[in-house]
Amino acid sequence: MGTNQIRIHEVGLRDGLQMEARVVPTESKIRWATALAASGVEILQLGSFVHPERVPQMADTDSLVRRFRAGSPTGRPVLSGLVLNQKGLDRALETGVDLVCMGVSASETHSLKNTRMTGDQALELTLAMGRRAMEANRRVQVSIQSAFGCGYEGSVAEERVIRIAERYLSAGLTDISLADTAGHADPRGVRSLFRAIRRLSPEIEPACHFHDTYGLGLANCVAAWEEGVGGFEASFGGLGGCPFTAVAGGNVCTEDLAHLFGRMGLAVGLDLSGLIALSREASEFFGRDLPGSIYKTGPIRWPPDGSAVGD
């Protein structure tokens, strides 16, 4: 049973928005990011450093990072951003983002669709970028995408995931996130893979990134926590999905996850009311219901003082 401290990495402004056709204005993103920071998330992903013509939704990532770094670092969340290539890393380092995120896929098909590189090519690039970012004194998180299965290839051998993790460790990259890009994970497989990953080195700081494509996201988070995982990537309202997988599904919803852990008696330290208000605003903006539940139902209130479990 896990006794690890829970860290929420809010990825809604990146993974949550990358599939949305309606571009969110920078002013709205600033307001949403301010609300997320106020909610108490430990890490806040402001976007990805990709070509603005390829992903117009991410065109203001640089300006968002600069804006939120301009204030006092005391009390603000760690600011993260995703990079896919050396040019993106150049931009990330120039803006001063705190945590540089990068990764490769354990699925060859997904890798080719997502990066136009084979898995081995993407891995060598990621290792080089990781070393460079560390030399620049930046925190680095590396991920293994499609770690629990692929929408195109089906099951992914555990050995492929382990091999990538071993290469990360050999380069000194210990903050490793396993991503369920296709939403194929189940609790038994989650326990097995994280157990194997954690056996590789006591230095590993494991994190997880689950999609709720088939309704298993929260169950998989509990299984990961039971195996000692402390880092959880989630998206307000359950927004998101990978555009380069066969069936895209939203991320695990931040407020649903906080509510669940609160029901389990675990300290999350997030302001549920603020997250709920934000998800309701986002739902209005996009003109549809979002995948999350708690922003629609409200939280279970207990004890009798009326406090919301998960606050």
Residues with active-site annotation: 242
Q: Look at residue 266 and give its three-state secondary structure.
A: coil
Q: Give the span between the Cα atoms of 119 and 17, in whole angstroms.
A: 25
β-strand pairing of 78-82 with 99-105:
parallel
Residue 279 sits at φ, ψ, to 5 deg, of -65, -35
Residues, the chain: 311
- Token readout for 238 is 């359950």
How far is residue 93's CA from residue 75's CA, in Å, rounded to a whole number? 22
- Peptide bond preceding 303: is omega within 30 degrees of 0, i.e. cis? yes
In 3-state terms, the chain is what percent helix, strand and coil (to 5)? 40, 15, 40
Q: In one letter, which amino acid is 48?
A: S
- Using DSSP, how many helices (H) and how many strands (E) does the chain show? 11, 8
Spell out the long-range contacts of 122-125 with Cβ–Cβ below 8 A and sequence spacing 24 or more.
123/164, 123/167, 125/85, 125/86
User: Could you count the other beta carbons within 10 Å of the beta carbon of residue 255?
Assistant: 29
Distance CA 139, CA 257 (A): 25
How far lies 60's CA from each of 57, 227, 239, in Å?
Answer: 8, 37, 19
